[in-house]
Amino acid sequence: MASRRDQLHSYQFMVQRVVSALVFRKTDPDQSPFRRAGGAVFASVMVAVLALAVVGVIGFITGGPADPEAAKQYIIVEKETGARYVLIDGVLHPVLNTASGALIVGKAETLSRSGNSLAQYPRGATVGIPNAPDSIPPADRLLKDGWALCSRPGDGGPTSVLYAGSQPAQGVPLAAGQALTAVFHKGQADEKWWLITDGHRYGLAKELVDAVGGSISDPAMSFTAEAAWINSIPEGAPVSVPPVENAGQPSQAISGAKIGAMFADATGKRYVVLADGWSEITPLQALLLQAKNPGATMGQVASGPAIGARSATSLFPTGTEGAPVLSLPPTFVPVGATGTACAIYTDHKGVPGILADATIPATSGIKTTETNANGGDLVNEVVIEPGHAVLVESMTGAEGSGTVLFVNEMGVAYGFTDRAFIASFGYTEKDIVKLPATVTGRLPTGPALDPVKAKENAIMKAK
């Protein structure tokens, strides 16, 4: 008895003979009627797949048509020439630099397209901000360390070097109460002396250097500093001899006491007798008065009121905003064999740590001009790691907000007119470091970064 398999094969054989009879008019042809048709279909499918693949590869290599909606979100780069464009209202505008393009389209990403694919767009005038930066590093290449501003000696005078976003300097940190003596020469006959201590600078006359514990005669105890280095350090009230008039004459208010006589109490406070009474002074002021009047003595009293009436005139210094009163004589230290001193800034409060006998890399930085447009002293050299940048907020005080600056690898600072525009460069608030304007202001500056300015006709602006 035939199995089901035998019955199926018998049925298939019968159907094949019927189809062959209809197609070839033969019940038993030499080959299957659909063998050639199946091969033709397979070959056609393979040719179509290959054709699509070739078209895709060509489109990838040469750049396909630039979709307007997609293209207007990028800085468009022409493959053949490297020319940059931005699409504004359907018009293709050449753009001067990457920064301008990023401000216009909202991001610093590029879209590469062939010249043929860009031929569909009408051309417009060149736009952009002249001299805006061309290199915009990604956020992971922004430097976020503190800055080091150093003054090093040289044959032609001192040189200031600013290390933006890095602190390569090695040296001896000044402890609390330690001081350096720095001199700044503005000209052959014009010099100014400074006492550098506790992150502040205090001006003083040359003849007072020895009086406060320094040494004019010892070259190791003072160094010549560059202007930008000096001016970056917050300034306190100058050190000066208290004005005591008619010293040596009897006081009208304190019986038996002479004007200029000094006293100290058990707590360490110092007092000086004036014509109409006594005034409290600092230990440093007492030292200066003794230096001016070598014969002056220091008496002992229980307290100020025990001397007698208080003077209407107070000689006690009040200090300046942001700088403490220098009340105690500092301990002077030599600048060291290198003759180099560095100020290290790690936050926006503006009070640096000071390094004496500092060692810095021998490589030179990028040279700058001597002053900026506002007449402020610029550093002589700027050093930034190649391929990197700094996003820094320039602070004029401990509170509030300041101008956000983009400092490129050439050491030029570009200010954003609105901090929100940092998003155009791919940055966020967490990428910003804050530093005092007394330091960031030592950098050369470029044009302001603003989307409205970026869209303006660059050729018309240049005329």
Nearest alpha carbon to residue 92 among 68, 64, 60: 68
Residues linked to residue 433 through DSSP beta bridges, in sequence order: 392
Answer whether 257's CB lies under 8 Å from 269's CB: no
Per-residue pLDDT at 397: 80
Nearest to 269 by CA among 258, 277, 279: 279
Burial of 325 (0-12, 13-18, 19+ CB in 10 A): middle
The pLDDT assigned to 65 comes to: 46
Phi/psi of residue 112, each to 5°? -90, 130
Q: Which residues of the chain have pLDDT under 50?
A: 60-65
Residue with tokens 């300034």: 235
The residue to which tokens 């890095």 are assigned: 166
Give the per-residue pLDDT at 460: 61
C-alpha distances in Å from residue 406, one per residue of 387, 413, 440, 444:
14, 6, 11, 12
Residue 75 pairs in a beta bridge with: 110
CB within 8 A of 430, min separation 6: which ones?
none
- Which residues touch 385 (CB under 8 Å, ≥6 apart)? 143, 165, 166, 409
Cα–Cα distance measured from residue 48 to residue 418, given in angstroms and rounded to the nearest whole number: 54
The whole-model pTM stands at 0.80
Which residues, in sequence order, are bridge partners of residue 353?
344
What region, left, alpha or beta, does residue 308 occupy, with left being phi > 0 and alpha being psi -120 to 50 degrees?
left
pLDDT at 146: 92
What does the pLDDT read at residue 252?
87
Contact between 111 and 77 (Cβ < 8 Å): yes
- The residue whose two tokens read 């155009």 is 424
**pLDDT computed for residue 62 by the predictor:** 46
Strands (E), 346-423: 353-359, 366-367, 381-383, 390-395, 403-407, 413-415
Residues, the chain: 463
Task: Output the six-digit token pair for 107.
Answer: 């991001």
Please give the span between the terminal C-alpha atoms of the chain, in angstroms, as a whole number: 106
Please check whether residue 403 is in contact with residue 435, taking contact to mean a CB–CB distance below 8 angstroms. no
Instruction: Give the dihedral of Cα atoms 157, 158, 160, 166; nearest 10 deg.
Output: 130
**Phi, psi angles (nearest 5°) of residue 282:** -85, 160
